[in-house]
Structure 1
């Protein structure tokens, strides 16, 4: 096989393998804005999540279930913050769409979105 043939073969194999490894499809990352008063979530490789709804700290776990992500064991602090929309505290499931994380409540209603850092 020629060098050109080897190069083409290597590119084809890379193209087949990369979509499964792409960080754009993986939920493991930091989502949202890491600024006071802004919602932010970190989904760790070990299935833990942490973050803030903009006021309260959030912690729990996550697990992929088909094309969505189910959250469980969510706990938060209970501080009162004026002028902060704490919509993220109602999260029960997530869905990754490229660099956007869609956040849903227990009824499947979309609460909002977070962008990948």
Structure 2
């Protein structure tokens, strides 16, 4: 289920997460279409739209702290390209068509 979990990044563009020194990005979805999360440095609050397994993410307003490294930019670039998703018991996969952009796991798992 997409809502009810705080999803924490477990892979980005098929690679590791060593570019995030301040913390790992996360996403949270509410039943009423609100999206919130963190880039690992800055937090954001926006919305999302679902149409079957297609999804459109809008990070909306974001804090503007200076962040070390390039992890935040890579995460936000990938987020902009998300067009569909798959959700399993312990994994959320965000995709651009058939290309996996990132996987996330429920916080605390």
Alignment of 1:52 with 2:38, yes or no, is: yes
Moved over 6 A (4+): none
Q: Cα RMSD between the aligned structures?
A: 2.6
Are 2:7 and 2:92, in contact at CA under 8 Å, matched by a contact in 1?
A: yes
Instruction: Kindly indicate which of the two structures has a greater share of residues assigned to helix.
Output: 1
> Unpaired runs of 5+ in structure 1?
1-25
* Larger RCO (alpha carbons 8 Å, 6+ apart): 2
Q: Take 2:35 and 2:60, find their aligned partners in 1: how far apart are those partners?
A: 9
Partner of 1:31: 7
String of CA shifts for 1:40-96, please: whole Å, max 9, x gaps. Answer: 111111110111010111211112112122113633222221146113323133513
Partner of 1:9: none
Q: Take 2:65 and 2:100, find their aligned partners in 1: how far apart are those partners?
A: 24
Instruction: Kindly indicate which of the two structures has a greater share of residues assigned to strand.
Output: 2
Alignment of 1:69 with 2:55, yes or no, is: yes
Partner of 1:102: 93
Query: TM-score, normalised on structure 1?
Result: 0.60
Query: TM-score, normalised on structure 2?
Result: 0.64
Greater CA drift, 84-93 or 44-53 = 84-93
Select the structure of larger CA radius of gyration: 1
> Unpaired runs of 5+ in structure 2?
10-21
